[in-house]
């Protein structure tokens, strides 16, 4: 079978002849071709990433290390480079290294043992040196000598310092987010969800205002199973008591005063603090694995915790059955109220519940509290409210964390705060649980009150000679009282910083 083709009046014979295009289809094809050519020659915006590849093997043979996965940027002519990074690192956890195993950084320094360096033929034995400014450089000390040498970057997956959680990746010390990805900044919200927005739980807060009719233990509230970020505070000469559902006291039970410290209760650790002034606090990260009962005989006790939404109904039923009025839970945007100083009365708690114990014979009441001494007069601080100020300090800081101020000391023209770090939002270097934060004035702005929680944006300040390494709160910097609303705002600011 054959076919013939002509320029005018084309005729096709046989099965090899394609169907004749209709005029309308030809017009659409022509328009698509012209549009593609015009847009392709003036392409704007970034290119597109290919899907992520598979994760590599762990960088370490035991203990913690990193694995990496990569992707490629596909760009048409005229398009900008892709945003974000083409590599992603995550922590990989292998079985612990055996006792006596040589640390990863020591192995890297030992590679240069017996090799000439520094432009001479002299050789040295090298051991890690941890006093240099950049923790992710391979800084090695010549054994028996008073100098060290930097051999470039350490290998990916090297711990930033002994005992630190951060790992070095591409010359930077990164901490893993709650998703296990290094440098992701992913955080657990108050509900315990990684990257959440505090919308799967409720913020329960109340000030206990009832007064007991006799001295002893007086029921304050039930802390239900599943509660997180529990905080109880009060000011009086009595003592908070905490009891489990089995009727056994965790704190200050059976008319005995417990020392401050950390206690195990309901599957979590309860930190009990008692200041020199008549003030006590309880903190627990949670979640609790069973109910706890709080007892105390003084009105003015403030307590708060976060509770999963599905557990709030049963909690309300249990509370009402005990005859305790409960305030409606606050949404996450509501600011938490400041602690209220209680009157010096001594209510009582029933057995099997948690509260505060009033010590002494019935009818003997504590001495009224004296007013705190007035603070030094200081001029008002500049107004630092607003989203722009928050974003500026978050993106330009080295650390952002939630911390409780446990001490304040003024010396010369500086103020030193001792803080207990509770939650880290951003850190370029490892942090300890207790740190000193310096403010460059006797009247710092913003001022920080002892025993209060703040969200802070902090910078690291190292003196030129390397003798001082401080955490600095700049004048008119970012330090705001912690609240659910401010927590949500700072998480939003983290997403808007330029890469």
Once rounded to an integer, what is the mean pLDDT over residues 114-118?
A: 83
The pLDDT of residue 39 is above 80: no
pLDDT score recorded for residue 77: 84
The pTM score is 0.49
Q: In the chain, what are the helix, strand and coil shares in percent, each to the nearest 5?
A: 10, 35, 55
% of residues, the chain, pLDDT over 70: 76
The pLDDT of residue 169 is above 50: yes
The pLDDT of residue 434 is above 90: no
Looking at per-residue pLDDT, the higher value among 140 and 428 belongs to 140
Looking at per-residue pLDDT, the higher value among 335 and 115 belongs to 115
Once rounded to an integer, what is the mean pLDDT over residues 428-455?
A: 86
Specify the 3-state DSSP secondary structure of 240: strand
pLDDT score recorded for residue 363: 29
The values of phi and psi at residue 321, to 5°, are -65, -30
In whole angstroms, what is the distance from residue 408 CA to residue 353 CA?
36
pLDDT score recorded for residue 55: 94
pLDDT score recorded for residue 196: 84
In whole angstroms, what is the distance from residue 294 CA to residue 19 CA?
85
pLDDT score recorded for residue 467: 65
CA diameter of the chain: 120
pLDDT score recorded for residue 319: 74
Strands (E), 130-200: 137-142, 148-153, 167-169, 172-174
Once rounded to an integer, what is the mean pLDDT over residues 132-140?
A: 91
- Residue 276 pLDDT class (50, 70, 90 cuts): confident
pLDDT score recorded for residue 294: 81
Contact 440, 413 (CB under 8 A): yes
- Ranking 73-82, 243-252, 298-307, 340-349 by mean pLDDT, the lowest is 340-349
**Angle, to 10 degrees, between the axis of helix 387-396 and the axis of helix 484-495?**
60
Do the strands 399-411 and 249-251 form a parallel or antiparallel pair, or are they unpaired?
unpaired
- Residue 310 is classified by DSSP as H
Looking at per-residue pLDDT, the higher value among 378 and 489 belongs to 489
pLDDT score recorded for residue 332: 38
Looking at per-residue pLDDT, the higher value among 323 and 485 belongs to 485
- Residue 339 pLDDT class (50, 70, 90 cuts): very low
Looking at per-residue pLDDT, the higher value among 286 and 333 belongs to 286
pLDDT score recorded for residue 454: 94
């Amino acid at each position: 079978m054959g076919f013939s083709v002509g320029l005018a009046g084309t005729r096709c014979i046989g099965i090899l002849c394609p169907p004749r295009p209709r005029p309308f289809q030809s017009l659409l094809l022509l328009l698509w071709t012209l549009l593609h050519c015009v847009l392709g020659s003036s392409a704007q915006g970034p290119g597109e990433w290919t899907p992520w590849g598979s994760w590599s093997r762990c960088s370490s043979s035991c203990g913690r290390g990193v694995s990496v996965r990569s992707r490629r940027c596909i760009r048409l002519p005229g398009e900008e480079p892709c945003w974000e990074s083409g590599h992603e690192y995550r922590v990989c956890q292998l079985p612990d290294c055996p006792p006596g195993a040589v640390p990863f950084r020591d192995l890297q320094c030992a590679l240069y043992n017996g090799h000439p360096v520094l432009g001479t033929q002299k050789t040295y034995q090298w051991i890690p040196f941890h006093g240099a400014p950049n923790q992710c450089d391979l800084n090695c000390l010549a054994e028996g000598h008073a100098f060290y040498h930097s051999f470039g970057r350490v290998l990916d997956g090297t711990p930033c310092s002994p005992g630190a959680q951060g790992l070095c990746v591409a010359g930077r010390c990164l901490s893993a987010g709650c998703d296990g990805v290094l440098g992701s900044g992913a955080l657990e919200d108050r509900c315990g969800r990684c990257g959440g927005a505090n919308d799967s739980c409720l913020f329960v807060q109340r000030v206990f205002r009832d007064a007991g009719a006799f001295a002893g233990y007086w029921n304050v509230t039930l802390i239900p199973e599943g509660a997180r970020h529990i905080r109880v505070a009060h000011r009086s000469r009595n003592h908070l008591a905490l009891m489990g559902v089995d009727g056994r006291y965790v704190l200050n039970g059976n008319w005995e005063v417990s020392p401050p410290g950390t206690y195990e209760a309901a599957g979590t650790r309860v930190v009990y603090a008692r200041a020199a002034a008549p003030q006590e606090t309880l903190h627990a990260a949670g979640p609790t694995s069973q109910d706890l009962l709080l007892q105390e005989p003084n009105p003015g006790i403030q307590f708060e915790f976060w509770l999963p939404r599905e557990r709030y109904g049963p909690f309300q039923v249990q509370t009402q059955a005990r005859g305790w009025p409960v305030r409606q839970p606050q949404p996450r945007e509501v600011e938490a109220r400041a602690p209220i100083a209680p009157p010096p009365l001594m209510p009582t708690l029933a057995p099997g519940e948690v509260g505060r114990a009033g010590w002494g014979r019935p009818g003997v009441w504590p001495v009224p509290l004296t007013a705190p001494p007035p603070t030094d007069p200081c001029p008002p601080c500049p107004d630092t409210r607003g989203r722009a100020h928050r974003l500026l300090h978050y993106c330009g800081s080295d650390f952002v964390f939630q911390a409780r101020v446990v001490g304040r000391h003024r010396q010369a023209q500086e103020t030193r705060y001792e803080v207990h770090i509770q939650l880290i939002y951003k850190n370029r270097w490892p942090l300890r649980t207790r740190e000193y934060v310096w403010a460059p004035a006797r009247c710092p702005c913003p001022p920080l009150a002892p025993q209060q929680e703040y969200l802070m944006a902090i910078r690291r300040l190292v003196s030129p000679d390397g003798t001082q390494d401080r955490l600095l709160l700049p004048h008119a910097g970012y330090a705001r009282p912690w609240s659910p609303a401010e927590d949500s705002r700072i998480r939003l600011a983290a997403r808007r910083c330029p890469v």
